[in-house]
């Protein structure tokens, strides 16, 4: 077996409960190094809940199922341990942390990953390079994290964080929403620069737009807390044309309803 055939990230039969409500009901996926997967699905179908649960959000309880990254079982790990194990989640709605600058936060995060102090000048160089690549103004380094940032700016900063932490597996929850046309291109370029044959991407999106830049190997459709259909890149095009109704019908048909 070559490296290529090994699984990078895998979760099996994930069930998630939040606020007494079952929101994800048995989802499985297996991602190999170098692959990009996309999850699409209507509002409220459980995409963010799944993402949060995978990252270890304490409010999203995994009532059943397993998660593996590079063969390590993540299920009993806290969010920070999962992060240090190489998992990353770009949030749909990133929160503001008043009084904490982007630079200070990123350096602290990087340090947590490396387990030692990040050399100041190395860090500055890294930050400067990545900010430039993502067309983020240098002034953002000293601004407070997401405090007063526009929707698009927040998304860019999420990708900046990913670029700096360089995870093995990145889940991107609607990173494309809120981006203008140019920003979509810049941010997509950033994602493509990060992506290589050793890491994986799971992209949650509503639109085909970003998939024109970040090309998925597989597309999955999530409805009512389940993956109801999987296919190649063309599935996204079909969804864009036809909406979700037909998938729903097909699924119901299969289930014999």
Partner 1 sequence: MSESLDKQKKDLSRLNSDYATKYGFRDPVDYFHKGAKGLSHELVEMISRMKNEPPWMTERRHEALDIYLAKPMPQWANTRLLNEIDYENIYYFMKPVDQQSTSWDDVPEYIKKTFDRLGIPEAERTFLGGVTAQYESEVVYHSMREDLKKQGIIFLDMDGGLREHEDIVKKFFGTVIPSTDNKFAALNTCVWSGGSFIYVPPGIEVKVPLQAYFRINAENMGQFERTLIIADKGSRVHYIEGCTAPVYSTDSLHSAVVELIALEGAYIRYTTIQNWARNIFNLVTKRATAHKNATVEWVDGNLGSRLSMKYPCIQLIGEGARGEILSVAFAGQDQHQDTGAKVIHAAPNTSSRVTSKSISKDNGRASYRGLAKVHKHATGSKISVECDALLIGRDARSDTYPTMEIDCEQVRVEHEARVSKVAEEQLFYLTSRGLTEDDARLLIVNGFMEPFTKELPLEYAVELNRLIELEMEGSVG
Ligand X SMILES: Nc1ncnc2c1ncn2[C@@H]1O[C@H](COP(=O)(O)OP(=O)(O)OP(=O)(O)O)[C@@H](O)[C@H]1O
Q: Which residues bind partner 1 (CB under 8 A)?
A: 55-59, 78-80, 82-84, 88-89, 91, 94-95, 97-101, 103-105, 107-109, 111-113, 117, 120, 142, 144, 161, 165
**Bridge pairing between strands 169-173 and 200-204:** parallel
Gap between the Cα atoms of 123 and 103, Å rounded: 9
**Quick one: which segment of 39-47, 123-131, 145-153, 160-168 binds ligand X (CB under 6 A)?**
39-47
Cβ proximity to partner 1: between 111 and 150 the closer is 111
- At residue 184's C-alpha, the angle toward residues 178 and 189, to 5°, is 145
Site string for ligand X, 67-106 (x = CB under 6 A): -------------------------x--------------
Does 49 contact ligand X by CB under 6 A? Answer: yes
- Which residue in the set 48, 83, 161, 199 belongs to the binding site for Mg ion (CB under 5 A)? 48
* CB 155, CB 135: distance < 8 Å: no
**Residue 151 zone, left/alpha/beta (φ > 0; ψ -120 to 50; rest):** alpha
Cα 215 off chain centre by: 15
- Closest to 191 (Cα-Cα) out of 43, 179, 101: 179
Does 205 contact ligand X by CB under 6 A? Answer: no
| 109: partner contacted, choices Mg ion, ligand X, partner 1, none (Cβ within 5-8 A by kind) | partner 1
Gap between the Cα atoms of 55 and 53, Å rounded: 5
| 18: partner contacted, choices partner 1, Mg ion, ligand X, none (Cβ within 5-8 A by kind) | ligand X
Q: How far is CA 16 from CA 12, 44, 153, 173, in A?
A: 12, 14, 30, 17
Strand, coil or helix: what is 144?
Answer: strand
Cβ proximity to partner 1: between 88 and 244 the closer is 88
- 93 is written with which tokens? 């709605």
CA torsion, points 209, 210, 215, 219, in degrees to nearest 10? -80
| 45: partner contacted, choices partner 1, ligand X, Mg ion, none (Cβ within 5-8 A by kind) | ligand X
Cβ proximity to Mg ion: between 5 and 43 the closer is 43
Cβ proximity to ligand X: between 106 and 221 the closer is 221
| 205: partner contacted, choices partner 1, ligand X, Mg ion, none (Cβ within 5-8 A by kind) | none
For the chain, the first-to-last Cα distance in angstroms comes to 42
Cβ proximity to ligand X: between 93 and 246 the closer is 93
Report the interface residues with ligand X, using CB under 6 A.
18-19, 21, 23, 41, 43-49, 59, 92
Report the interface residues with Mg ion, using CB under 5 A.
47-48, 92
């Amino acid at each position: 077996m070559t490296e290529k055939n090994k699984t990078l990230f895998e979760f099996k039969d994930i069930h998630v409960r939040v606020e007494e409500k079952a929101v994800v009901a048995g989802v499985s996926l297996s991602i190999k190094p170098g692959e990009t997967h996309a999850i699409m699905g209507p509002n409220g179908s459980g995409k963010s809940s799944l993402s949060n649960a995978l990252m270890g959000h304490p409010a999203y309880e995994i009532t059943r199922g397993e998660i593996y990254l590079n063969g390590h079982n993540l299920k009993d790990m806290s969010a920070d341990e999962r992060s240090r194990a190489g998992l990353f989640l770009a949030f749909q709605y990133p929160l503001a942390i008043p009084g904490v600058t982007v630079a200070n936060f990123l350096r602290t995060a990087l340090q947590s990953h490396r387990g030692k102090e990040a050399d100041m000048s190395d860090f500055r160089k890294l930050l400067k390079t990545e900010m430039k690549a993502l067309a983020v103004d240098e002034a953002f380094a000293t601004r407070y994290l997401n405090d007063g940032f526009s929707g698009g700016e927040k998304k860019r900063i999420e990708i900046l964080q990913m670029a700096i932490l360089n995870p093995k597996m990145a889940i991107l929850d609607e990173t494309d929403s809120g981006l203008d046309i140019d920003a979509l291109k810049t941010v997509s370029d950033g994602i493509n620069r990060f992506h290589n044959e050793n890491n994986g991407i799971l992209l949650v999106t509503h639109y085909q737009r970003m998939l024109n830049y970040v090309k998925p190997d597989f597309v999955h459709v999530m409805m009512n807390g389940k993956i109801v259909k999987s296919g190649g890149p063309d599935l996204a095009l079909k969804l864009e044309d036809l909406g979700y109704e037909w998938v729903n019908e097909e699924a119901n048909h299969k289930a014999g309803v």
